[in-house]
């Protein structure tokens, strides 16, 4: 019984983390936060320079999160199902969720690189 409770909570977290990437990915692509703010959205010094950098960053990371989120959902679900057959399921679940958190954070790097490529240090488009 305890194994099924651990499995259920683990698969739930797998789905929540993937759904977060998919949901916010689509939201940021289609409807980024209207106001540049320090509470909600993709908030880095480069993305908050002006409205153009704000919208660009949200569209860019939104597209990455949308695509990566679907892959992460599929791979994580399969891996989590495989954890049913190993004696170290709890440790495997924690490792899987930790890897998902890393995957959630990694798109920051290409987003910042794209911002640097397309905008100067004042937030103006580079021709």
Which DSSP string do the residues of 12-67 spell out, in sequence order? HHHHHHHHHHHHHHHHHHHS--SS--SSSS---TTTTSSHHHHHHHHHHHHHHHHH
pLDDT per residue, tens digit, the chain (127 aa), is: 566 666 677 778 878 889 999 999 999 999 999 999 989 999 999 999 999 999 999 999 999 999 999 999 999 889 888 888 888 878 888 898 899 999 999 999 999 999 999 999 999 999 6
- Domain boundaries in the chain? 2-118
Q: CA 32 to CA 101: how far, in whole Å?
A: 22
C-alpha 42/C-alpha 53 separation (Å) is: 11
């Amino acid at each position: 019984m305890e194994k099924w409770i651990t499995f259920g909570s683990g698969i739930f977290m797998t789905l929540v983390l993937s759904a977060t990437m998919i949901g916010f990915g689509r939201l940021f692509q289609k409807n980024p936060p209207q106001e540049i703010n320090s509470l909600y959205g993709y908030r880095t010094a480069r993305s908050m320079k002006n409205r153009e950098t704000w919208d660009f960053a949200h569209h860019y990371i939104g597209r990455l999160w949308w695509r990566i989120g679907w892959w992460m959902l599929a791979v994580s679900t399969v891996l989590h199902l495989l954890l049913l057959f190993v004696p170290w399921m709890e440790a495997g679940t924690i490792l899987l969720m930790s890897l998902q958190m890393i995957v959630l954070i990694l798109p920051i790097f290409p987003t910042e690189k794209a911002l640097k490529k397309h905008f100067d240090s004042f937030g103006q488009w580079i021709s």
